Each structure stands twice: as C-alpha cells, then as structure tokens.
Chains A and B, each alone.
Chain A
C-alpha cells in the first residue's frame, strides 16, 4: 500500500505504524458519571467496519506525524489522507 502523505507525498506503508480506528482520537471525559463504561467501550470495543474505514497511521520512519487515512478494508484502496492534527482541530477534540 502507498500512503499519500499530505506533506511528503507518496510513501510506502512499511514506513508507518498502524494504531487503529480514528475514533480513538475521541477520548472520553474521565469525569463523566459513566466514565468507566465509556472507557471500556473506548478501549475494547470496535466498529470494525468492512468498507470505508478512517484510521490512524504514524509515520515512524519519516516525519513522525500522525495521519488519518481513509481506506477501504475490503480492497485496501486509500481515498483520503489528512494530518491527524488538522482532523482533531476541525472536529474539536484536539488536546
């Protein structure tokens, strides 16, 4: 697979480390009343989608940026690559 890095251009997927579903960026509120249940679901349960999947890749052998890659889990076709920082800022869960 080739990941088209927004800053560096097309890079081989072997340069990256995979973390998982991009929903992992939305960390639950630890002060919520049901925080234990929310963290259980956050840590352990997955949508595990067959089809378009937004996921986190880390460019370890490159510029060490986190990316949000939209990839089809049935065909491995990559349709969008964004910096995770930009996605987090846009969706309002930047730390």
Chain B
C-alpha cells in the first residue's frame, strides 16, 4: 500500500480497518543471493538500495532482535555533512543529498527537518579552522556559512556570550543540516526493501559463518543454516563479536555513548548547536525535549548504559554553553554501544574472505551516514568495486598508512 494523504483520509473514513503491516514476517529460505547481517539502519538501507538501484532482490536481512533496536534507535538524530577531509566529506555530502530526497524516495514520513547545525568557535585559531572546514565543505558541494559573533547572537541569543574562559568568537553554520525521526528511517527502509522482495527475518541470530577454501558460502543461525553467494555484515556496536566468528580481529573497540532528553519545553533552540570548547551538542525535538549528548564514557563496554561521571561532564558542558539549561529537568537518558575505530572513520570494505563484506567502525557518527552507507555498501556488494565516494574506507588502511584522521591526533580508539 502506498502511503499518501488520500489513503490517510480514506482510512480515517473507514475506521482505520484496512492498514496492513508495513513489512512481512517471512520464514528464512535455505538460500539467498545476498545475506545482510544486521537489521539496523545501515543493513536495511543496504537491502533497500540493493533492490532498488541494483535489482538484487533475492536478499535476506537477518536481525538477532527486532529491526531498528540498536543504534538507529539510540542516537541524537542529527544529520550533517560538515566534515573536512577528502576521504570523508564527499561521502557525507552524498548522504545529505539522499536525506533530502529520502521521504519521497521510500514513501515514508521520516520527519527530515533541515533546521541547521551551528558549530561554535571560542578562539581565533578555532575560527580559522572553521573557515578552512567551511571551504572544504563547499569544495565538495556542501553548504556552509561562517558566522561572526554578531551572526551567532542573532541565531542563538540565549548562549553565554560573557563566558570569560570560553568566549564565543563565531561559528560555522550549515543550514542544510538538521534532525530526522530516527526510528522511521529504519521502518521506511524496511518497508521499501520488503516491498521489493527482500526478506526481513527478525529474531534470527547469526552463530557462525560457512567457510570453504577461503570463501564464505552462508551463515549458521539460530533458525538454521542459510546459504548465500555473498554475506554482508552491518552490525556496528557488535562488529568485533560477529567478525570473530569469521576469525577476524578488527581495528575497533566497543565503547558506550550516552544521550539525554529533558522535559518538554517551548521552542527555544533553532537547530543543532555544538559547544566548541568542550564536548556538548544539543537540539530540540518536535515534542519540545532538549536532546543532548557529549563524550563517550571512555572504556571498553558492551553494556548499553554508562556511568555518572560522564553525565556530570556532559551537563557541565551544557551549563558552560547555555546556563539556562540548568532550569530544565532531565527526563531520560540512555546509552548505545559504538564501534570506535582507530582513526575515527568508518569501514566499508571487502574482507580477505571471498564473498564476505564488512561495514562498521562508525564511531558515534553512524546515523547521519545511514543513506550513503547503504548506498555505497550496496554498490560494493553488487559490483565488487567500492563506490567512488567511499574508496578510502578500507580495513587495511592502518597497514598502508592511509588513515582518515579527521581529528588529527593519531591512532586512538576514543575519537569521534
């Protein structure tokens, strides 16, 4: 069923009795052309673009829990393409262009809201760095506006401009950035893939890989053996655990990132605002809650919850940026497990095993990348060649020395 204003009115007049489930609940078949492990945003987007752009529809998405139950449901919903390096920026700009047309494309309301992102600068060198970043963004076709202090004041008069330690000097504003209803992204891609014939199989945990002569021939699952010509892994957060079953060690550590929502407030924050002297970012949901976050906790963990010192640190960042946030009460908080890669950038690559592909290492920037990640991963799986904007996301880049060190601080698994 195609969703439209007409179908909503028609259903309203007939008591909403004819709505169908948005996707099927099929039994796994014994063989597929492509198996995608992981029914999160990236896995479902990959299935959708495999079917839609490459005509490969004999595909199964295997999910150990329910789809969209991992990080696509646990993020702060921000989309942006304000990266610096040539290995990153064209990829994220492709993602931004896909976001802009996503709802029409998959006929689902994902509430894509291009309300802008403002990165604040607090020193002259930082303002210079933002000027450079803004230029790099424009070279890749993205939009950016360098604001002086007066420009920031006009946009966000509520910030602490009198902060003696971290005065606000200006900021980098990307008007096309924004927020998206995150769960709807998973559901929209799932429905779009399912409509085109992809089997979405939930409660089906992969327990091992079928390997023969250095080739991957399928997977063992909690619901039996499933053969496939190609197996594509997209399980960020659990990448090391899954790939260990294929005998691989990855340049990844798992860390927890916490996020927070305040009680509902009247509209106050115009877009997304980030503090440039600490680590704090905030936006306001359509329900009015302030959605914010900061640093990862900083130790290896697979528990989807963090500890209190980080909560304190994030709230201190908020108080330094906009003291009025101290009047808001925290409503809820949660944690998600992040694949922290060794240079802060992701992987979309083949592995040394024929027929086995890997997508992961998204650190805590995976949500904004969802459409481009699916697009480029589908391209890699379908054609065997990396997509032109994702050629640098190689698993072996630490051997060759071609890191994508966006932050410029070297090999650390605790970067963005």
List the interface of chain A (C-beta within 8 A of B).
Answer: 1, 12-14, 18, 20-21, 40-41, 43-50, 53, 55, 71, 73-76
Closest-CB distance, A57 to chain B (whole angstroms): 8
Chain A's closest residue to B410 (CB) is: A43
Inter-subunit contact B253/A40 (CB<8 Å):
no
Pairs A–B under 8 Å by Cβ, sample size 23: A12-B309, A13-B309, A14-B309, A20-B300, A43-B342, A43-B398, A44-B398, A45-B249, A46-B253, A46-B413, A47-B240, A47-B249, A48-B240, A48-B250, A48-B254, A49-B300, A50-B254, A55-B299, A74-B303, A75-B303, A76-B301, A76-B303, A76-B307
Residue interface bits B373-416, CB-to-A below 8 A is 1, else 0: 00000000000000000000000001100000000000101000
* Chain B positions within 8 Å of A14 at CB level: 309
Interface centre among B250, B299, B398 (most CB of A within 10 A): B299
Closest-CB distance, A77 to chain B (whole angstroms): 10
Inter-subunit contact B252/A46 (CB<8 Å):
yes
The 10 tightest CB contacts between A and B, nearest first, are A48-B240, A14-B309, A44-B398, A44-B251, A45-B249, A18-B299, A50-B302, A44-B342, A73-B301, A74-B302
Residue of B251, B254, B413 near A73 (CB, 8 A) is B254
Closest-CB distance, A81 to chain B (whole angstroms): 14
* Chain B positions within 8 Å of A43 at CB level: 342, 398, 411
Inter-subunit contact B251/A45 (CB<8 Å):
yes
Inter-subunit contact A46/B307 (CB<8 Å):
no
Chain B's closest residue to A21 (CB) is: B300
Total A-B residue contacts, Cβ distance less than 8 Å: 63
* Chain A positions within 8 Å of B251 at CB level: 44-46
Inter-subunit contact B309/A20 (CB<8 Å):
no
Closest-CB distance, A16 to chain B (whole angstroms): 9
Cα distance A12–B310 in the bound complex, in angstroms: 13
Those of B291-313 within 8 Å (CB) of chain A: 298-303, 307, 309
Cα distance A46–B413 in the bound complex, in angstroms: 10
Kindly list 12 other residue pairs between chains A and B, CB separation below 8 angstroms, not including A20-B413, A46-B250: A1-B307, A12-B309, A20-B300, A45-B250, A46-B240, A47-B244, A48-B254, A53-B300, A55-B299, A73-B302, A74-B302, A76-B307
Interface residues on B, range: 20 to 34
Inter-subunit contact B309/A40 (CB<8 Å):
no
Residue of B253, B303, B307, B411 near A48 (CB, 8 A) is B253
Chain A's closest residue to B398 (CB) is: A44
Interface centre among A13, A18, A47, A50 (most CB of B within 10 A): A50
* Chain B positions within 8 Å of A21 at CB level: 300
Inter-subunit contact A73/B307 (CB<8 Å):
no
Those of B62-110 within 8 Å (CB) of chain A: none
Chain A's closest residue to B343 (CB) is: A44
Any A CB within 8 A of the CB of B352: no
Cα distance A21–B403 in the bound complex, in angstroms: 22
Inter-subunit contact B241/A50 (CB<8 Å):
yes
Cα distance A1–B308 in the bound complex, in angstroms: 9
Cα distance A92–B220 in the bound complex, in angstroms: 41
* Chain B positions within 8 Å of A20 at CB level: 253, 300, 413
Inter-subunit contact A46/B241 (CB<8 Å):
no
Cα distance A55–B240 in the bound complex, in angstroms: 17
Interface centre among A12, A14, A49, A73 (most CB of B within 10 A): A73
Cα distance A40–B397 in the bound complex, in angstroms: 11
Inter-subunit contact B303/A73 (CB<8 Å):
yes
Chain B's closest residue to A40 (CB) is: B399
Closest-CB distance, A43 to chain B (whole angstroms): 6
Closest-CB distance, B221 to chain A (whole angstroms): 19
* Chain B positions within 8 Å of A49 at CB level: 300
Residue of A12, A41, A44, A55 near B300 (CB, 8 A) is A55
Cα distance A1–B244 in the bound complex, in angstroms: 28
Chain B's closest residue to A50 (CB) is: B302
Interface centre among B244, B301, B342 (most CB of A within 10 A): B301
Chain B's closest residue to A18 (CB) is: B299
* Chain A positions within 8 Å of B307 at CB level: 1, 13, 76
Closest-CB distance, A61 to chain B (whole angstroms): 11
Closest-CB distance, A27 to chain B (whole angstroms): 15
Inter-subunit contact B300/A48 (CB<8 Å):
yes
* Chain B positions within 8 Å of A40 at CB level: 398-399
